[in-house]
């Protein structure tokens, strides 16, 4: 498709420019330049479904052109096809790599990129070209109050001030900021206050029984800052932080029996999670929501932020990009429905209000039940090990079958998967001599001396090594061709149950028939701790565990 080289400026929709502050002097210079020479470097836009175009990169040039020439100006453009996620990512990276971006704006942009990387800060730092320390320093600014960020944007305070402010609650920040600005206190002054007064015992989430008589429990000396900082603080910051972290870990650990993913969220993790809802403007749809409950990225967040320390948020999606695409797909699907069908099913504005209420109360609502067992990395590892073990066990009983499978493995280019180590062990046992590495003649002579039975054992050992080493996709092909019956090799065990949540155990119990076998005791059992639930599921009187395999373990 041929795209235009210019577009009428007024026809370009605003994009998602992460910049909020534009230096007045530099902006004036750009406007004057554009007024006399026009825009030399094209801006980047993307085409939308309705035929319009949205700005992706070049916000300052657009501002300058509009000021200098108005909406009828023929704006030079580069048009590129991209989805919403690609546009957002490119806009963030493009802006953040410019050296005149405010640190607070860098923090907001970096936090979005961390979200797009599913919370992987190392990957986000790589994309930004930053060190991990630089990234963490910027992300810490995300805990600054709006007034502190504004002061940083306008250069009223220094970056060092803002980094220290981030350790306080937003209420404390807003009380301290006017004092810092009015009296001209240095970064060192603020650091001194932080060290003495930020560890509020009233806000502590750990058991404070040992703090009552501690020598570090004292009222903060606040003569410099009046009533900005309250009393009853711990002056041993290291001890305070250590106890806080232990309590956060304990809270997270208590949730891992219930959810697939549990994370402690820190400043800068703003975009790494989103409340999963079925309806409303951010809803993924009823059916999709059910599937999301079983996703390995579904779970709970424990706040490590000063303003909500220790608070638990259940029903979180930790793949915000996937969630965004699901919401977009739901909206697109609804737009294509006939108007009459939409009117019949929408239920009016009350439905939207109900969704909004549900969204607000989601943090305190019970966790939704899983509908399937999530294919987490741990479950996948367990499952693949089961497939390899079962197939190896059956092939080891039939030398002719092993020979056929080995020929097929070699013929399909999978010989590289054969590990010589286990094969050499069998060779040494059969021939009573170590294999001659690099000496083909000696090895061939030794192989010729093998009788039929020993040769068959060697074929089996080579095939078993291949089964252990082939890629998972190829292993699945082997299992399906062999018509491997996992029921002959597996029954419910503690190792498997420990890999899944209590909610997922209910799914397994339904699939295997355990819920019916347990009757009225089933609900009572699941009110207990995870270890007690596991013991109960593995000791149901009269239940035949043999021959029953849950869907998540099948190939």
Sign (positive or negative) of CA dihedral 34, 155, 98, 44: negative
Residue 358 has pLDDT above 50, yes or no: no
Q: Which of 206-220, 294-308, 484-498 has the lowest mean pLDDT?
A: 206-220
- Helix (H) or strand (E) segment spanning residue 242: helix 237-255
Three-state DSSP at 260 gives: coil
Residue 338 or residue 229, greater confidence: 338
**pLDDT value for 73:** 93
For the CA atoms of 207, 210, 215, 219, the dihedral, rounded to the nearest 10 degrees, stands at: 40
Confidence band for 496, pLDDT divided at 50, 70 and 90? very high
**pLDDT value for 236:** 83
Residue 189 has pLDDT above 80, yes or no: yes
Confidence band for 412, pLDDT divided at 50, 70 and 90? very high
- Mean pLDDT value of segment 401-418: 93
**pLDDT value for 118:** 86
Sign (positive or negative) of CA dihedral 543, 549, 550, 551: negative
For residues 392 and 419, is the Cβ–Cβ distance under 8 A? no
Residue 247 has pLDDT above 70, yes or no: yes
Query: Whole-angstrom Cα distance, residue 338 to residue 352?
Result: 19
Query: Whole-angstrom Cα distance, residue 404 to residue 183?
Result: 85
Q: Which of 92-106, 231-245, 260-274, 517-531 has the lowest mean pLDDT?
A: 92-106
422-472 pLDDT, tens digit per residue, is: 888 888 887 777 766 778 888 888 888 888 888 888 889 999 999 999 999
For residues 237 and 195, is the Cβ–Cβ distance under 8 A? yes
For residues 42 and 4, is the Cβ–Cβ distance under 8 A? no
Confidence band for 348, pLDDT divided at 50, 70 and 90? low
For residues 506 and 370, is the Cβ–Cβ distance under 8 A? yes
Q: Among all chains, which residue has been given the structure tokens 């367990």?
A: 382
Enumerate the H helices of 363-439 as residue ranges.
377-395, 399-411, 420-431
Confidence band for 50, pLDDT divided at 50, 70 and 90? confident
**pLDDT value for 356:** 46
- Mean pLDDT value of segment 38-65: 88
**pLDDT value for 58:** 86
262-275 pLDDT, tens digit per residue, is: 999 999 998 899 99
**pLDDT value for 346:** 52
Q: Hey, where are the domains in the chain?
A: 6-141, 148-235, 273-364, 387-484, 494-553
- Write the Ramachandran bin of 335: left for phi over 0, alpha for psi from -120 to 50, otherwise beta: alpha
Three-state DSSP at 235 gives: coil
Residues 6+ apart with CB under 8 A from 529: 257
How many Cα atoms occupy the beta-carbon half-sphere of 62 within 13 Å?
A: 22
In CATH terms, the fold of domain 6-141 is: 3.90.1530
Average pLDDT, rounded, for the chain = 85
B/e letters for 7-45, b = 16+ CB within 10 Å, e = fewer, are bebeebeebbbbbebbeeeeeeebbeebeeeebeebbbb
- Residue percentage of the chain with pLDDT more than 70: 87
Residue 170 has pLDDT above 80, yes or no: yes
Query: Whole-angstrom Cα distance, residue 69 to residue 37?
Result: 11
Residue 227 has pLDDT above 70, yes or no: no
Residue 479 has pLDDT above 90, yes or no: yes
**pLDDT value for 531:** 93
414-435 pLDDT, tens digit per residue, is: 999 998 888 888 888 877 777 6
**pLDDT value for 341:** 52
Residue 10 has pLDDT above 50, yes or no: yes
For the CA atoms of 314, 317, 318, 321, the dihedral, rounded to the nearest 10 degrees, stands at: -160
- Write the Ramachandran bin of 492: left for phi over 0, alpha for psi from -120 to 50, otherwise beta: beta
- Mean pLDDT value of segment 89-95: 74
Q: Which of 36-40, 216-220, 347-351 has the lowest mean pLDDT?
A: 347-351
**pLDDT value for 230:** 43
DSSP 412: T
Residue 226 or residue 533, greater confidence: 533
Strand order in the sheet with 274-275: 261-265, 298-303, 312-317, 274-275
How do the residues of the chain divide into helix, strand and coil, expressed in percent and rounded to 5?
Answer: 55, 10, 35
Phi, psi for 196 (deg, rounded to 5): -90, -25
**pLDDT value for 371:** 80
Query: Whole-angstrom Cα distance, residue 479 to residue 475?
Result: 6
Three-state DSSP at 229 gives: coil
**pLDDT value for 97:** 65
For residues 34 and 68, is the Cβ–Cβ distance under 8 A? yes
């Amino acid at each position: 498709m041929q795209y235009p080289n210019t577009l009428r400026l007024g026809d370009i929709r605003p994009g998602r420019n992460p910049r909020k502050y534009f230096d007045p002097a530099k902006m004036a210079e750009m406007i004057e330049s554009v007024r006399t020479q026009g825009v030399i470097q094209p801006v980047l836009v993307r085409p939308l479904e309705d035929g319009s175009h949205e700005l992706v990169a070049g916000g300052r040039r657009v501002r300058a052109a509009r000021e200098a020439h108005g909406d009828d100006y023929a704006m030079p453009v580069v048009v590129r096809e991209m989805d919403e996620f690609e546009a957002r990512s490119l806009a963030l990276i493009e802006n953040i790599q410019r050296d005149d971006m405010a640190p607070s704006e860098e923090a907001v942009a970096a936090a979005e990129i961390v979200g797009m990387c599913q919370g992987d800060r190392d990957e986000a730092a790589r994309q930004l070209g930053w060190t991990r320390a630089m990234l963490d320093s910027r992300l810490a600014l995300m805990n600054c109050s709006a007034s502190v960020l504004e002061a940083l944007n306008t250069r009223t305070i220094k970056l060092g001030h803002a980094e220290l402010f981030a350790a306080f609650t937003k209420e404390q920040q807003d009380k301290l900021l006017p004092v810092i600005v009015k009296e001209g206190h240095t970064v060192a002054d603020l650091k001194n206050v932080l060290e003495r007064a930020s560890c509020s015992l009233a806000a502590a989430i750990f058991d404070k029984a040992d703090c009552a008589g501690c020598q570090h429990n004292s009222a903060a000396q606040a003569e410099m800052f009046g009533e900005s900082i309250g009393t009853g603080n711990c002056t041993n910051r290291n001890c305070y932080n250590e106890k806080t972290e232990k309590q956060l870990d304990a809270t997270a650990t208590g949730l891992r029996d219930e959810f697939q993913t549990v994370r402690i969220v820190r400043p800068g993790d703003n975009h790494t999670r989103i409340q999963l809802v079925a309806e409303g403007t951010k809803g993924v749809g009823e059916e999709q929501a059910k599937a999301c409950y079983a996703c390995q990225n579904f779970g709970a967040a424990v706040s490590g932020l000063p303003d909500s320390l220790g608070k638990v948020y259940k029903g979180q999606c930790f793949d915000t990009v996937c969630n965004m695409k699901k919401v977009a797909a739901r909206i697109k699907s609804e737009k294509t429905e006939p108007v009459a069908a939409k009117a019949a099913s929408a239920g009016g504005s009350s439905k939207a209000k109900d969704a909004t209420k549900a969204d607000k109360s989601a943090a305190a609502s019970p966790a939704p039940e899983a509908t399937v067992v999530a294919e987490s990395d741990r479950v996948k590892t367990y499952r693949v090990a089961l497939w390899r073990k079962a197939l190896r066990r059956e092939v080891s009983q039939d030398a002719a079958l092993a020979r056929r499978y080995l020929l097929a493995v070699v013929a399909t280019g999978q010989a590289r998967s054969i590990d010589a180590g286990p094969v050499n062990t069998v060779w040494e046992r059969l021939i009573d001599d170590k294999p001659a590495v690099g000496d083909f003649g000696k090895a061939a002579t030794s192989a010729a001396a093998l009788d039929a039975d020993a040769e068959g054992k060697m074929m089996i050992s080579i095939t078993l090594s291949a089964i252990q080493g082939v890629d998972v996709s190829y292993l699945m092909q082997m299992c399906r061709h062999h018509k491997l019956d996992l029921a002959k090799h597996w029954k419910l065990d503690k190792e498997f149950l420990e890999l899944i949540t209590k909610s997922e155990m209910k799914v397994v119990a339904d699939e295997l028939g355990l819920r019916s076998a347990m009757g009225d005791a089933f609900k009572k059992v699941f009110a207990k701790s995870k270890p007690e639930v596991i013991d109960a599921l593995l000791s149901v009187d009269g239940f035949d565990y043999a021959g029953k395999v849950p869907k998540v373990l099948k190939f």
